[in-house]
Amino acid sequence: RVGYRIALIPGDGIGAEVVPPAAAVLQAIGHRHGITFDFDEFDWSCQRYVHEGAMMPTDGIDTIRGHDAILLGAVGWQGVPDSISLWGLLIPLRRAFHQYVNLRPIMVFDGVRSPLTAAKDATRVDGVDFVIVRENVEGEYSEIGGRMNRGLASEQAIQTAVFTRPGISRVAEYAFGLAAGRRGRVTSATKSNGIVHTMPFWDEVVSEVAEDHPGVALRSEHIDALAAKIVLEPAAFDVIVASNLFGDVLSDLAAAVAGSIGIAPSGNLNPEREFPSMFEPVHGSAPDIAGRDLANPVGAIWSAAMMLEHLGHREAATEILDAVRALFVDGIRTRDIGGSAGTAEFTRELLKRID
C-alpha cells in the first residue's frame, strides 16, 4: 500500500462545500487502488482572519511544507478585502512552493450543456480537449507598485509587470514537454505588437524554447484574437501557454465554453517536486450561491484527480473522470450545467458509481 499526507484547506464559501466531496472521492478511489490518504485539515480562511487577524498562522507555510500535496477550495468572503485573502494565503502558497505552472485542462464532457451547444453549429464543441499552461508566480501579478496619493487629484495605482528569462523559459519548457506527449501543438498567448513592452520578450524566449522542441509546432496569437478563437474554434487547441493574467482570463473563458466554471480544475505545480503542489478548482468562493447546496463539486473533484495523477496514479485518476462522465451521461448533473442535482446528491451518486 502507498500512503500520502494531504493538506486540506477548504477555505470560504463553496470552497468549504466542494473540498469534502473531493476528499471523499479520494478515499473511495484510494480504497479500490490500495492508496491511503491522511488528511490534515486547516481552517485558513477569511473567518480565521476575522477571529485571529491572519488568513493563516505565521508558520503556516512550514506546517505544510512536508505534505505530499495540498487540496484547496477557495478563499474570499464579504467583509474581508480580496487583497487580504489573496495576498494572505493563495499567492504566498503558490510562490513559497515555487508552483510556477498552473495547469488547467479543458474538456467538453458528453452530457454537459455548453453555451455553444445552443449555437447554430453545435459541433464546434466536439472533441474539445486542451490545456492552459499558465505562468503562476510572476508577470502581471508582481509585488512591485501599489496605490498612491489616495484621495488626491493625483491619485494613481501602478504595478510593474515582471517577466524574467528563467521564469518564461521554464513555463514554456513545461508547455512544450506537455504538447510533445499530446497532439504536438503549442499556442502562445501574446500581445507582440510592442505596445506592451514585456510581450516581445515573452515571444523571444518562447521561440527559443521552441527551437529545442522541433517535434512541436508553435503558433503565437494575440490575446484578444485568441479569446475570440477559443469561442469560435475551441477544438483547434492543444496546449495554450500564457502569462499569469492572460492565463487567468482565458481559463474562465475556456471553462465557460466547456459548460461551466464549476467543472474546471487546476494544478499549481512545482514540476521539480521540491515542494508540494496544490490542487484547486478554478472557481472562487461564489458567495452568490454559497450555503445552498448548489455548488458543482466537479472542479474540486477533477482537481483531486489531477493530484492523483501528479502522485503517479494515472489509472485511478482516469477512473474518477470516467465516473463523472458516466453520471453526466445519465443526466445526473448540478444546475450550472443543466441538471437539478445538489452538491450532496451529485457526490452521493458519484461515490456509489466509484464503489
Is residue 336 a contact residue for Mn ion (CB under 5 A)? no
Beta bridge partners of 104: 132
Binding-residue pattern over the window 93 to 122 for ligand IPM, x denoting contact by CB under 6 A? ------------------------------
Binding-residue pattern over the window 211 to 230 for ligand IPM, x denoting contact by CB under 6 A? --------------------
Is residue 248 a contact residue for ligand IPM (CB under 6 A)? yes
Q: How far apart are CA 240 and CA 219, in angstroms?
A: 10
Neighbours of 29 (CB within 10 A): 24
Beta bridge partners of 253: none
Residue of 23, 74, 216, 241 that binds ligand NAD (CB under 6 A): 74
Residue of 45, 188, 296, 347 that binds ligand NAD (CB under 6 A): 296
59 binds, among ligand NAD, ligand IPM, Mn ion, none (CB under 5 to 8 A by kind): none
Neighbours of 352 (CB within 10 A): 11
Give backbone dihedrals phi and psi of 53, rounded to 5 degrees, phi first.
80, 5
Residue of 209, 254, 282, 332 that binds ligand IPM (CB under 6 A): 282
Residue 14 vs 133, nearer CB to ligand NAD: 14
Burial class of residue 215, CB neighbours in 10 A (0-12, 13-18, 19+): exposed
Binding-residue pattern over the window 220 to 249 for Mn ion, x denoting contact by CB under 5 A? ----------------------------x-
To Mn ion, the closest distance from the beta carbon of 331 in angstroms equals 29
Name 186's Cβ contacts closer than 8 Å, sequence gap at least 6. 175, 176, 179, 210, 216, 217, 218, 219, 238, 239, 240, 241
Q: How far apart are CA 121 and CA 44, in angstroms?
A: 45
Handedness of CA 173, 177, 179, 185 (dihedral sign): positive
Is residue 256 a contact residue for ligand IPM (CB under 6 A)? no
Q: Are strands 239-242 and 265-269 parallel, antiparallel or unpaired?
A: unpaired
Interface with Mn ion: number of residues (CB under 5 A) = 1
Q: Provide the binding-site residues for Mn ion, judged by CB under 5 A.
A: 248
Q: Provide the binding-site residues for ligand IPM, judged by CB under 6 A.
A: 86, 90, 248, 282, 284
Q: Provide the binding-site residues for ligand NAD, judged by CB under 6 A.
A: 14, 74-76, 82, 90, 261-262, 280, 283-286, 288-289, 295-296, 299, 336
